[in-house]
Amino acid sequence: MLIEEILRDVLRNLGNSTPSSTTTAPSDENNSKKDSENDSNTLAKFMVSGREPLDVAFKFFKSVKAAVLNEDSIELITDKDESAKVQFNDVISIKAVMEILQKGIKKLECTKFNEEFVPFWDSMKSNVKELELSDFNFDNKKYIEVVKNMDSLDKAIIELDIYCIGFMEGISLTCNELVLKGEAFDQIENGEDLKIKLPSVKKLTVAGRYVGWGPTDMSLESLIKNLKAICPVLEELNLLIDDDNVDDEVPQTFIELISKPKIDEKINLKVVFNFTLNESSWQKSKFHKELQKHPDIEMIGAKDGSKSKIKAGEKKLIEFNLSSEMTEDDDEEKEEEEEEDSEPASKKIKT
């Protein structure tokens, strides 16, 4: 068992070993090139070095359930959350390994698209159940091509960055669950002319913020109407709204925004406001004090009430998550400045 563990550790660290860079004379150029080619084939060299390394390698690859595609390497993750970084050329050149990975990998994540990895995408895409794209570029034709029409998906997670939900039309994803991060909610509210259709999405999560205006002017009715038009079989909708400019607002403002519109009761709705307050401690904020006073709001999470929630109907749930932007030192400095500013005035009153 000890030998197997050692060999497994060696396998997991193969991708971390890079050839040392040395300056070579022109006469050694051909030899250097051959050495470089041999060095790049570290996985194959490990597997053919003996029976035990071969068995360890196949056992590891059979347990791989997820792959993360980085700019210059592929990280393979097992069902026990063990990981190994491998070079693309090492893996793609061994047919037996690719066949095992093709059957086992159910989740594919891309942090940085590399066109050289397209053959790996093409081999894996037919069996992948979950797809996560951290850097998706809707203007990259090759990237779109490898993602387009992945019809085996159950779930897709996409970081939109500078794009919006309207760009999804170009990739024709088919999945039951879709998570979009970095969305501008005002674009959805204004997007009645969006022609995009996601006919298979039953559960939709949209995370982002309002860019043109704040959440106090949001229209939940417009949001749901437009998202329902995009996802006609929608059953569950989660909206995660970030904002850092609500210090002077009160929870009642948001509760009215959520509870007043007539919402389709067939949809399970959850709205989460993630508010960063300009206080060293959000407990000191007016917003939090008003939350505590509201009779319909239940404080949950930490004992100090860092989270709160309100049920605004049988299938509607609102949550407020509060955090602070300033540090305790910033707050103390602010209080000292306020005391200094108020001192002359207090003296005048006394006289």
C-alpha 283/C-alpha 246 separation (Å) is 14
Tell me the pLDDT of the chain averaged across its residues.
80
C-alpha 15/C-alpha 114 separation (Å) is 17
pLDDT tens column, 221-248: 888 889 998 999 999 999 999 988 777 7
β pairing state of 203-209 and 236-243? parallel
Token pair of 196, please?
A: 């995009």
User: Residue 163: helix, strand or coil by DSSP?
Assistant: coil
Q: Is the pLDDT of residue 153 over 90?
A: yes
pLDDT number for residue 344: 34
Mean pLDDT, rounded, for 64-73: 95
C-alpha 315/C-alpha 54 separation (Å) is 54
pLDDT number for residue 349: 22
pTM of the model: 0.81
From 157, 129, 130, select the one nearest 240 (Cα to Cα): 157
- Give the start-to-end residue ranges of the domains of the chain: 1-16+38-116, 129-236, 244-351
What b/e readout covers 293-323, taking b as 16+ CB neighbours within 10 angstroms? eeeebebeeeeebbebbbebeebbbbbbbbe
Of 105-109, 169-173, 281-285, 298-302, the least confident: 298-302
Which phi and psi (to 5°) does residue 237 adopt? -130, 125
Output the CA–CA distances (angstroms, integers) from residue 239 to 180, 203, 250, in the order listed: 10, 11, 20
Q: Is the pLDDT of residue 346 over 50?
A: no
From 143, 137, 133, select the one nearest 68 (Cα to Cα): 133
Phi-psi map region of 50: left, alpha, beta (phi>0 left; psi -120 to 50 alpha):
left
Mean pLDDT, rounded, for 170-175: 81
